[in-house]
Structure 1
């Protein structure tokens, strides 16, 4: 089956969630213990995670989940053109120059843009309009991310040529079930690959970062010496003034939408470390981690376990049976090859350019049919 044209599924003018994946070339493990070269490249996972933090702080895109393995990585991204619309021209120019800086410091980090650098962008209406679109364009995020990792690795290895295997794969997530399943699939990737046994041991994943932050937030706060009011911080979840106070998951989208109490709207981030403070699921962070843990235990080899009598509330609320749930999170890429969601929801979606319906395999339809 021919690959769907990217422009048929992705429109930076729309709020859209995607599961994206990129794999290294030639089957080499260029982010881990590579059996071909005999070298260990685990440190390159830090490169990717650091770039993700930078992009999350500047793009108009929410990073909700990620997992970095030895020869590929997964992300769940949500384009937020509504947040970009809240930024004035100066902010748009500043953010772009933090992504594509004209000057960098000794560590290669972007330097604060000068007024003249900002003026070169914000003085041209066509340029500023194009950059607004780029800031909420997932293709630009992936293009720049892969380009920088590839260039750095090729320079280190003193080689030329492709580092990644073709273009990245992108699957739109059209409903809450798809976003939940896609996020769980990504967060459990290391466990499914037998690289880690628990969520806590799943290095370079959003699940591990959320657990680190949850643990820190539940630890008793140490007594701090008295300081002047202008040096105190009252919210460590959003403050970036102190590296010690910064949460490990500060660059990730919060989990809970808080629909009962949150006001409608884009909710631009107050911390400057992520695009927005708007969650992506109608459950708490604790409930999401409990669901991850429950799902991981059902899938662990040699640990058949027993389905609990009382299933997690989220499964009941979404009307997902345990069998269907475990099937779609274990085989997400096979069940949803082009677009992800319940078949009846996908049937209402159309491609962006030609308006055609998306194909849903008979296998996928039968899975959801058995669950009805």
Structure 2
């Protein structure tokens, strides 16, 4: 029996999660259908557009994503503090970007009608706002809002009904910065591993392409969770942008050419800080998803989860010890 989602997502353990959704009808529902020759490449644009729109409404930030021909990867950060700080009006405004809401919540968002609401209606609005606030910081609601929207659009285009995605998305909790950055690189390098792109900057429908294009202008993409800078501190990803980009570029080159060569100094420094040797990093970059089950991180991070969550055993402990050390 599948594990309940509320047992897989524990924000007390980590706010970072790797989510994978796979298509079910045929192999290439978002690329070129090998049977009919029809090109569905535009659907990858649907997924990217919807993903970025959801991040703009939810209290959930995108760390990395890759929209492939028959599956999607996304690394997310659930920002419960952001959701808690929203006013009632902010919650409803964000909810209405994606969903209709109710008649009374729409009236509340209208400046001319808000003052005319009765006290019982205002009480109802507050109750609805708290429900929406919870959903806007909920990983399952985020993925549901992504996958159901794409399924409806695809079914409409195909003039059919039925499932577009597998019934459940897979999730992996990323328990520490080693797991987070290794998983992000694994996601960003998907097109290179699959042979659909030769460099990160050529990897369409990915976060790494967005980051590289923004970096060329001295910026970071507003739609993605930023990397560390002196202004952002704890609200940023735990390394400098240039160090991450250079490490991903180097790793992609190794995967493409099947030859390591000389590792750049900046890459070596970042791996040293993460306490991951190059051989282990390459193994993580090429198969992170399959090295761990629902929890990923260093061995002590897994053991801490087992103690706090009352688990008897954790799959992936061997990979954690071998790839991340203690």
Same fold (TM > 0.5): yes
Contact 1:13-1:136 at 8 Å conserved across structures: no
Equivalent residue, structure 2, for 1:360? 315
1:209 lines up with 2:210 in the alignment? yes
Distance in 2 separating the partners of 1:123 and 1:329: 49
Counterpart of 1:73 in structure 2 is: 72
Question: Residue 180 in 1 paired to residue 181 in 2?
Answer: yes
Q: Please state whether the residue corresponding to 1:331 is helix, strand or coil.
A: helix
Matched, 1:304 2:259: yes
**Matching of residues 47-86 of structure 1 within 5 Å:** 47-86=46-85
**What residue in structure 2 maps to residue 41 of structure 1?**
40
Instruction: Rate the CA distance shift 1:358–1:5 in 2: closer, same or farther, 3 A.
Output: farther
What is the CA-CA distance between 1:262 and the residue it aligns to? Answer: 4.3
Does structure 1 conserve the Cα–Cα contact (< 8 Å) formed by 2:306 and 2:314?
Answer: no
Alignment CA distance shift 1:351-1:18 (3 Å): farther
Q: Distance in 2 between matches of 1:93 and 1:11?
A: 26
Quote the Cα distance in structure 2 between the aligned partners of 1:351 and 1:19.
Answer: 22
CA distance in 2, matches of 1:67, 1:127: 34
Number of equivalent positions: 316
The verdict on how the C-alpha distance between 1:81 and 1:13 changes in structure 2, with shifts beyond 3 A counting, is farther
Give the drift of 1:38: 2.2
Task: State TM-score, norm by structure 2.
Answer: 0.88
Indicate the residue corresponding to 2:86 in structure 1.
Answer: 87
Spell out, residue by residue over 1:43-86, the C-alpha distance to the aligned partner (whole angstroms, 9 max, x if none). 01111111112111110001111000111110000101101111
Is the contact between residue 349 and residue 357 of structure 1 (CA under 8 Å) also seen in structure 2?
no
Q: Does residue 280 of structure 1 match 2:276?
A: no
8 Å contact from structure 2 (residues 25, 163) kept in 1: no
Residues 246-288 of structure 1 deviation map (CA, whole Å, 9 limit, x = unaligned): x7x22111111x3x65466xxxxxxxxxxxxx3122x211111
What SS class does the counterpart of residue 212 from structure 2 fall into? helix
Write the distance in 1 (CA, Å) between the matches of 2:138 and 2:37.
37
- Which residue matches 1:290? 246
Is this contact kept in 1: 2:191–2:203, CA < 8 A?
yes
Distance in 2, Cα, partners of 1:284 & 1:365: 24
**Closer, same or farther: CA 117–25 of 1 in aligned 2, 3 Å:** farther
Equivalent residue for 1:222?
A: none
The answer (yes or no) to whether the contact 2:88–2:129 under 8 Å persists in 1 is: yes
The Cα offsets for residues 278-332 of structure 1, whole Å up to 9 and x where unpaired, read as 3122x211111001011112222x4413243745211001111101111112111
CA distance in 2, matches of 1:351, 1:65: 29
> Structure 1 residues 121 and 333 mapped into 2: Cα distance closer, same or farther (>3 Å)?
farther
- 1:142 aligned residue: 143
Give the aligned partner of residue 170 of structure 2.
169
SS across alignment from 1:347 = helix
Structure 2, unaligned stretches of length 5 or more?
A: 103-107
Which of 206, 224, 238 is the equivalent residue of 1:252?
224
More displaced 10-residue stretch of structure 1: 43-52 or 26-35: 26-35
- Residues of 2 paired with 1:343 and 1:361: CA distance? 9
Contact 1:146 1:164 in 2 (8 A): yes
User: Given the two structures, how large is their TM-score scaled by the length of structure 1?
Assistant: 0.78
In structure 1, C-alpha distance between the alignment counterparts of 2:155 and 2:236, rounded to whole Å: 37
The CA distance in 2 between the partners of 1:121 and 1:19, in whole Å, is 38
| Runs of 4+ residues over 6 Å off in structure 1 | 117-122
Give the 3 Å change call, closer, same or farther, for CA 11–303 of structure 1 in structure 2. closer
1:344 pairs with 2:308 = no
Contact 2:21–2:170 (Cα < 8 Å) also in 1: yes
SS at match of 2:200: coil
